[in-house]
Amino acid sequence: MSAQTAGVPDVPSLVAIVVLYGMAPDAAPTLEALAACDGLDACRHVVVVDHGAQPQDAAFVRLAARFAPGQALYRHDPRNPPLGSAYNAAIRAHLGNASYVLILDQDTRLPRDFICAGLDAAAANGHPALMAPHMVAGDRIASPCRLVLGWGRRWAAPRPGWQSLRANTLINSGAWVHRRVFRDLGIWYSESLPLYGTDTDFFRRLGRREPRMIVLALCIAHDLSFDSSTVDVKARKVDAMLAANRAVYAADGPLVRAGVRCMNAVVRLKYAVQYRTLRFL
């Protein structure tokens, strides 16, 4: 289905969604970088969903001044619902406003040409269902990566252009998702996963319907909170990731589920050896 027959404008446009956790809107690196991007007029709205305990209206006013009047929108939700619920609510509210939904974490450092690169790629490739940049953590490509039973094997080098979504996965941040994915295919984020696994689950289901994605030539710096955590916090995060991994594959066959359990055990052993503690086992 082409963008035109799907009722999507020939000129691509986007709505950006950023969920904040314990960070003021005017202090989020992603929002600061987004405000400085070229081509920002193609971004119909920047939707800021704040999961902090207290509303930060003054900080949002300072942030909104960096955008066009009415472009930045703020929603405070102290209940801290599952990440998928926050995404879905924002997407439903703004689905008719643009052809692409751009998902961003709060700590992704976007280059100035990020929006223009995405718009150009969309127009040049027939408005693909999914586009994503290379996300780099340190000297490693963190996303996209090869999907092996819920865990990613890192790419050794950038691979711009058309790539298999069925064989790979990616993190949410930086993903351009065409609105037909939600409106026509009915694929939404899971609201049963608190945080971890939302990306693997969503892109795995999308890959069954849209087997290919466009990977942008851009390499974007992205902070992985896991890398800067204490060992005890790392261990708790691994516990949560493993639980999410089991949930993502819960509906698969017994051999796949057994493979996931084995892979999870390998991951626990790897971290136990790396950090020399039984806390991961």
Predicted model pTM: 0.92
Band (227; pLDDT cuts 50, 70, 90): low
pLDDT of residue 238: 93
For residue 2, pLDDT beyond 90: no
Banded pLDDT at 29 (limits 50, 70, 90): very high
Residues in Cβ contact with 170 at an 8 Å cutoff, skipping those fewer than 6 apart: 132, 135, 143, 144, 145, 199, 203
Q: Between 2 and 280, whose confidence is greater?
A: 280
State the Cα–Cα distance between residues 242 and 48, nearest whole angstrom: 29
pLDDT at 149 (0 to 100):
84
Over residues 236-253, mean pLDDT:
94
Question: What does the pLDDT read at residue 9?
Answer: 47
So what's the pLDDT on residue 8? Answer: 44
For residue 227, give every residue at least 6 positions away whose Cβ sits within 8 Å of its Cβ, in sequence order, or none.
Answer: 137, 138
* pLDDT mean across residues, the chain: 92
At the second CATH level, the architecture of 14-222 is Alpha-Beta Complex (3.90)
Distance CA 263, CA 268 (A): 9
pLDDT classification of 137: cutoffs 50, 70, 90: confident
Contact between 168 and 161 under an 8 Å Cβ cutoff? The reply is no
Q: Are the CB atoms for 48 and 31 separated by under 8 Å? A: yes
The stretch 33-50 carries a mean pLDDT of: 97
Which pLDDT belongs to residue 161?
98
CA 51, CA 222: separation in Å to the nearest integer? 20
Q: Note the pLDDT tens digit of each residue in 99-134.
A: 999 999 999 999 999 999 999 999 999 999 999 999
Between 1 and 74, the more confident residue is: 74
Give mean pLDDT, residues 139-156.
89
For residue 226, pLDDT over 90 is answered with no
